[in-house]
Amino acid sequence: MEFHNKTAIVTGAGVGIGFEICGQLARQGATVFLNDIDEALCTSAAEKIRAEGGTCHPLPGDSSNKTFVESMVSTAVEQTGRLDIAIANAGITLFGDFLTYPPESLFQVLHVNIGGTFFLAQAASRQMRQQGNGGALLFTSSVTGHQAHKNLAAYSMTKAALEMLAKNLVAEVSGFGVRVNTVAPGATLTERTVSDTEYENTWSRITPMGRPASVTDIADAALFLVSDKARHITGQSLVVDGGWTATSPSPF
Ligand SMILES: NC(=O)c1ccc[n+]([C@@H]2O[C@H](COP(=O)([O-])OP(=O)(O)OC[C@H]3O[C@@H](n4cnc5c(N)ncnc54)[C@H](O)[C@@H]3O)[C@@H](O)[C@H]2O)c1
């Protein structure tokens, strides 16, 4: 029960990596506020975690909307009196050829991936400073924030930006005991990625450890970074990719 008496917010968590992080946090005693932009999915995801005995509240809404993000923090604090962990996990991937990439896609990716993360870090940090006993922020980055990847210029730029945001915030929030890190998943089997039937075969072939990540692989690393075991780790990125960035063979 590592997270007993801790309150956590996780964005973009109706399925995939975020949902697994919420489940693990709840199983280890946290009160979890689970966000997703899809209201029905958000509600059913929180219900699934409660059905297993966890404490989990749905907070449906757009994690890139500053006003909504602030209301998530207020709701968590109204209901539990505190906020200890904020995980900006929501991120969208809009693939496209760089030479013809449309401005609408660029701004959408910037808005959700960078804007949403920035606003949650800001609102959570203000609350944690007021509480006076620290806290942990975590951003979901990607191996594409470390290595070039065809058709992902906009997305990979946002993920590299999140890593710099985490590093930069060390100068802003360490003074009141808040740590900030990123977890950088490699190819991970989620509801979204397995919709490409070749995904698992391709990434099994080009990943040194012989398979893509599971959501559990990523959530285990995420929980470590927001736990007290990582109490002296801040401003870092933990790559969880079965060795892919060491060799980086192209999936194409
Ligand atoms: N799956 C992978 O292979 C992989 C690899 C590297 C990084 N990532 C990153 O991990 C994170 C989670 O990815 P995933 O594949 O597990 O999930 P996903 O992409 O399937 O999305 C999870 C949920 O996020 C929600 N969402 C999207 N925009 C939102 C918004 N503005 N506000 C609130 N919710 C929103 C969606 O409705 C969805 O249910 C993302 O940041 C992604 O970039 C994923």
Give residue 77's pLDDT: 98
For the Cβ of 229 lying below 6 angstroms from any atom of ligand 1, the answer is no
Give the nearest ligand 1 atom to 41 CA: 39
Q: What single-letter amino acid sits at 168?
A: N
CB 152 within 8 A of CB 144: yes
Other residues' Cβ atoms within 10 Å of the Cβ of residue 175: 9
Task: In whole angstroms, give the CA distance from residue 84 to residue 133.
Answer: 9
Q: Which member of 6, 63, 125, 155 is catalytic?
A: 155
Does position 252 have pLDDT exceeding 90, yes or no? no
Q: What is the pLDDT of residues 103-128, one digit of tens each?
A: 999 999 999 999 999 999 999 999 99
Contact partners, residue 238, CB within 8 Å, separation at least 6: 181, 182, 183, 184, 221, 224, 225
Identify the three-state secondary structure at position 197.
Answer: coil
Q: Is 71 one of the annotated active-site residues of the chain?
A: no
State pLDDT tens for residues 202-227.
999 999 999 999 999 999 999 999 99
Enumerate residues 6+ apart whose C-beta is below 8 A from 209. 242, 243
Say which residue the tokens 């951003």 belong to. Answer: 139
The answer on pLDDT for 67 being more than 90 is yes
Reading the block at residue 141, the tokens are 């980055």
Average pLDDT, the chain: 97
Asked whether the predicted pLDDT for residue 250 surpasses 90, the reply is no
37 lines ligand 1 (CB under 6 A): yes
CA of 108 to the centre of ligand 1 (A): 14
The answer to whether the CB of 9 is under 6 A from ligand 1 is no
Residue to substitute in 190, 206, 214 for testing ligand 1 pocket (most ligand atoms within 8 angstroms of CB): 190
DSSP 8-state assignment for residue 43 = H
> Known catalytic residue: 155?
yes
Q: Note if 48 is an active site residue.
A: no
Kindly report the backbone phi and psi dihedral angles of residue 137, in degrees, each rounded to the nearest multiple of 5, phi listed first. -110, 145
Average pLDDT of the segment spanning 22-36: 98
pLDDT tens across 145-178, in order? 999 999 999 999 999 999 999 999 999 999 999 9
Residue range 127-153: mean pLDDT, rounded:
97
The pTM of this model reads 0.98
CA angle 185/145/208 to nearest 5° reads 50
- What span, in angstroms and rounded, lies between the C-alpha atoms of 43 and 92? 20
- Tokens 């915030």 locate to 169
Tokens of 75: 């709701």
Q: What is the pLDDT of residue 15?
A: 98
Tell me how far the alpha carbon of residue 230 lies from the centroid of ligand 1, in angstroms: 24
Residue 8 has pLDDT above 90, yes or no: yes
Residues 89-99, mean pLDDT to the nearest whole number: 98
What are residue 30's DSSP bridge partners?
Answer: none
pLDDT of residue 216: 98
| pLDDT band at residue 27 under the 50/70/90 scheme | very high
The answer to whether 31 touches 54, Cβ cutoff 8 Å, is: no
- Which band of pLDDT confidence, cut at 50, 70 and 90, is reported for residue 29? very high
Minimum CA distance residue for ligand 1 atom 14: 16
Question: Looking at this protein, which amino acid is placed at residue 33?
Answer: F
Residue pointed to by tokens 């977890």: 183
Residue 65: CB atoms within 10 A of its CB come to 17
Distance from Cα 132 to the centre of ligand 1, integer Å: 31
State the catalytic residue, choosing from 125, 142, 156, 237.
142
Separation of alpha carbons 47 and 49, rounded Å? 5
189 token code pair: 């089997």
